[in-house]
Amino acid sequence: MLKPALLALPGVIALFFTNVQAATPAATLHQQSCTSCHGSEVYTRPNHRIQGKPQLVKQVRRCTLAAGAKWFDDEIQAVADYLDKHYYHFSK
C-alpha cells in the first residue's frame, strides 16, 4: 500500500527543486530596496530615460541615496547588471 507513494516521491522532490529559484544577492537587494519605492513599470515603459549601461549605474546610485540604502559600489554594479539582464538588455 505504501509502495505507490514511495515511487511518486522522487518526482515530487524533483518538481519542488525545479520550481525553486535561488535569489541572487542583486535580486534580493532589488526586491528589498527598489520595489519598496516603485514597480517594474519604470523599467519597461516605452519612454524610459535610461539609454545605456553607464546611465543605469548612475541611476541605481541615485536611487540608493534617495532610498537611504547603504550599498557598496559592487552592490550598485550588481543591481545595475541585474536590471540590465532582466529589463534593459543593453549588454546584448
Is the dihedral angle over the CA atoms 51, 55, 61, 63 positive or is it negative? negative
CB distance 62 to 9 below 8 Å? no
How would you write the pLDDT of the chain (92 residues) with one tens digit per residue? Answer: 555 554 555 554 544 444 444 689 999 999 999 988 899 999 988 888 899 999 999 999 999 999 999 999 999 999 999 999 999 999 87
Q: With the CA atoms of 8, 12, 18 and 22 taken in that order, what torsion angle do they form, in degrees rounded to the nearest 10?
A: -150
What is the C-alpha to C-alpha distance for residues 5 and 2, in angstroms, rounded to an integer?
A: 6
* pTM for this prediction: 0.74
